Amino acid sequence: MAALALVQEGYLSHANAAYLGKVYTALDRGKLETLGFSYPPLPLLLLLPWPSPWAPAVLGALALGLGFGLLLTEARRRSEPLLLVLFAGFLLSPAPFYLVAEDLAQTLGLVFLWWAWTFYRRWLDEGLSFHLFASGLVLGAAVYTTPIALPLGLFFALGLGLFRRLEPPAWAAASLVLLFPLLSTLFAWGYLSWTFTGETAFLYAALPKETPSLGTVLLASPAYLGMGLLILLRPRASFLLYPVPLLLFLALPPLGFGYTLPLAVGLLFLFALGGLPRLALGPRIRAVGLGLALLQAALGWALLPSPEPPPDALERAIGQALAQAPPRSILADDRESYRLLAWAGTARPFLLPPDAGFTLALSAPSLYVDRVLVCPGAGALYRRYGEDDPPGFREVWRYKGCRLLERRPS
């Protein structure tokens, strides 16, 4: 409800606006296959039936509801009410709200990773290969939302022999059961993208590029640190997997894979819940659990950033006004003006880089379009007309670095 209220006030995150811009462009141009091979594909495909600024918040809330249901099931299976106490601290922090409002892909990714972890834990408890295979399938879906899923799956396979005593052949067989659905999903996506688009969608870069420091992530994750100290009191070989997310947070940014603070906190919280040992709930354990939950909520409010950019009703009004223009009458670059495209609710008025006439219109706008929308970025449109008006055009308005240029009446 809070995320929907923000949208009503004119809020739309950069990530969700970029997803909507891609969906509108694919729908208007009739190139739906591009959605399946643009990263992240799963949020784009989920937005396809209902492309709207409201849709990411609604789908994100439904995904978090599914995650909460999985948590209830796991707490009931393991008879661990402390799981619910710790999760209450996470819910009371702004992290769930931030995820729902900011990035549909990261919300889906966190829920998928938790789902895969629950299957993994069931294999540890019951030893059924089905649970390993199911964990690999869910990780395969998670790859379509967050790049963390692939290395995490590899570490899951590495940890099979740490959690249970397995001979090398059994360890290799169990790893194959886990990794086969994950890797086959990934390579099938790469092959199909090459077949339909001529490009291999295998190595991908994810939004966002900027990442928080590891110190900030740890400071905002008291439940993770507390459970780590508790596990250290009862050391086992499986503890070697506990710091895996920290290794990922160190290794992924140099490779170009970013993450937000709420996603990092959520992933560490997932490991804290999954690594929780069976405990007799005495008064001391209850007090520690309640203290960690309250600390998780308090530090979340202190450290997690406010959603960016702030609500802007004027930006929404500008986008809706641009939507009234004739088809292909506005020269624009959807990689830079995606926010206005998302608020417009259609790509029909815009002549974009994927269109055949974009290059010609870029060289001589007055022959092909009535208006030019220039937003800051690294594209050819901004490099050419970021500061200088094309011949025969004048600036109509400028807002947040974007300029609308209109052809002078003859």
Residue 296 shares a structural domain with residue 361:
no
Residue 320 shares a structural domain with residue 209:
no
**Within-domain flag for 389:** yes
- pLDDT tens digit sequence for 69-112: 888 887 787 777 777 888 888 888 888 888 888 889 989 999 99
> In sequence order, what are the residues at sequence separation of 6 or more whose Cβ sits closer than 8 angstroms to the Cβ of residue 282?
none
Q: What pLDDT shows up at residue 229? A: 84
Examine the pLDDT at 275 and tell me if it is beyond 60: yes
- Structural domain boundaries enclosing 219: 2-303
Contacts of 354-362 spanning 24+ positions with Cβ under 8 A: 354/25, 354/29, 354/31, 355/29, 355/328, 357/328, 358/331, 361/331, 362/331
Examine the pLDDT at 148 and tell me if it is beyond 60: yes
Among 303, 336, 361, the domain boundary falls at 303
Residue 229 shares a structural domain with residue 348:
no
371-374 and 402-407 strand pairing: antiparallel
Q: CA-CA distance, 395 to 392, in Å (whole number)? A: 11
Cβ contact 71:114 at 8 Å = yes
Residue 294 shares a structural domain with residue 357:
no
Among 239, 269, 303, the domain boundary falls at 303
Q: CA-CA distance, 238 to 165, in Å (whole number)? A: 11
Give 233 or 345, the one with higher predicted confidence: 345
Examine the pLDDT at 49 and tell me if it is beyond 50: yes
Residue 320 shares a structural domain with residue 344:
yes
Residue 328 shares a structural domain with residue 244:
no
Examine the pLDDT at 139 and tell me if it is beyond 90: yes
Instruction: Give residue 203's pLDDT band: very low, low, confident or very high (50, 70, 90).
Output: very low
Cβ contact 128:228 at 8 Å = no
Residue 354 shares a structural domain with residue 297:
no
Which of 150, 163, 109, 161 has the alpha carbon at shortest distance from 274? 163
Residue 294 shares a structural domain with residue 330:
no
- pLDDT tens digit sequence for 21-36: 999 999 998 888 777 7
Q: What pLDDT shows up at residue 90? A: 86
Residue 113 shares a structural domain with residue 160:
yes
Residue 229 shares a structural domain with residue 317:
no
Residue 146 shares a structural domain with residue 251:
yes
